[in-house]
Structure 1
Amino acid sequence: MLSAAAKMIALRLECRAVDPQRRPVSCLLSTRVEIVRARPIKVWMRQFAYPGGRGGFAGFSALLSVLAATSIAWAAEAPAEPPLPPPRPVEAEPAGPKPPNPSDTSSSAPTSSKEAPREAKEPDNCVERLRSAGFVVEPAETPRTGNELCRIEAPVRLLSIPVISRPETRIVLKEQPTLACAFAESLGHWLGDLVAPMLAGHLGSDLRAVHTGPGFECRNRNRAASGKLSAHAEGMAIDISHFELADGSKLGIKPDGEERREAAIAALRKAACGWFTTILGPGSDPSYANHLHVDLQKHGSSDRYRICD
């Protein structure tokens, strides 16, 4: 085996022409264990043989011996070709049904280019929720009007509601107003859970009936000829004119000078701010001088904003 020094051979040969009439030739070869570029042997012979032929064969033979030894050492120590990386594993197909092959499509499939209709949104169970709570309601249709913006979502006719503190007692809505179901739910709970017990505590008599307007009305705010639609146009408002008590008396919204009765109205009016977004009555505006208006219309971008006047 060749030593490490033999593996890294540095060969320097100098050649000079003996005959001074000829052009001097010098050459230098340094080899560091690498394959010499393929070149015609005649070129090498011209570089390393003396031009006059003296000693040319001996010098050339010595060069060939060195190159042969270098090639053998390089071949012995040259590393084998680096191994190729293992082939990439085949990715597993995602679970789930494969897409149908177009050629396997049944002839009964629709050929229309229109998209399939989207699934209908599940209806709100508002009516069932009201009936479970003891409300008496009837499904209603939105009255026909000339303004297409006047429409109610899930309209119902509210007939009566229970009193939470007295299950055997019911409150009748004489005018059977047509309301959006969501508003009927808020109105009914406000009357049965808060107004009835409050009036019974203030006046010593149970609430028997509530007199109101029709609920839905296709009109602008304050019945103006132009402007924004009223919450009535969506069934989200009600006007209350007076309450009817079990002792046969009537409690009007308009002040009548009786302190205890006016205090009862002021208390339920103030408490209504926790149930509705708008509460207007006597003192708010001349148009509300004789009734209490409550609605769930959204003011601005926040549903927490209240107008309690």
Structure 2
Amino acid sequence: MIVLGIETSCDETGIAIYDNQRGLLAHELYSQVKLHTDYGGVVPELASRDHVRKIVPLVERTLQSAGLDKQGIDGIAYTRGPGLIGALLVGSSMARALAYAWKKPMIGVHHMEGHLLAPMLDNNPPSFPFVALLVSGGHSMLVDVKGIGEYRVLGESVDDAAGEAFDKTAKLLGLDYPGGPLLSKLAEEGETGHYQFPRPMTDRPGLDFSFSGLKTFAANTIRSCDGAHQTHANIALAFEEAIVDTLLIKCKRALKQTAYKRLVLAGGVAANKRLRASFENATKSGAFEVFYPSLAYCTDNGAMIAYAGCQRLVAGQRTEISATSLPRWPLENLSPLKNV
């Protein structure tokens, strides 16, 4: 089955075509970063309008890149939620229009399931079951994954997600949007030993995350420092180390709790160099394996939606054209695919 995937949950327009026999055939992505930089964050109305402008040309370009036309597409997958409602509506409207005009089945995909399954696009995909750490600007959660659609949330953010804490702390350091990658780049110039940041909620049982207090600690540290570039680099390093250590501690707990030997890291923060290096180093003990998506599939993208949608379409699942978008959609509400 060849599936056209459409991703418009936030500020990236992603279109891809996935074939369950040959793999990913084409992948196009447009980022709105420059559009939102002046505002220091995503402006929902502007994001929706930009999706409207870009989505049709991107679909046409993706089809051309794959050497296909509408006759070569067997199904449409789109991000149904969670996300910004206006952005979601652009993608769902496009999917419904194509499904109706081309007389093809369609499926609404959960955005976080797309991230969770993104490592399946690589040459060395993980086998089920595994623990997944989903870390992005809006989500930080640990999930027990027994199979596609068989998800149990083990822990999640009670306030700021990891990516959100990165962006907010970067703003306090005077860095542009999106701040997370810029903070990580600044941290590369940092020197260890100057600051010690807390590892929130690691001194008590449980798998939930809380990064709001860490952000406040960073804010107080920044306000009381001398403002020099090297000082800011030292603070960025200490902050990043605290985030990475906290995530690793929680992941080890989740692996111990489930007795699994495989860990998947997915979402935008999974592209962080220090995070990957730290987790890779932890695997040297032989206690577990770690899997990541390729960097191109860490951020929001159409490839992960096309893949996840393809699995559900092959299993016979469908979404009605009248279905509404879901800006909030619990991951555990998804139906399992027993035959995949």
TM-score range, shorter chain: under 0.3
Q: TM-score, normalised by structure 2?
A: 0.23
Q: TM-score, normalised by structure 1?
A: 0.25
Bigger fraction of residues in helix? 2
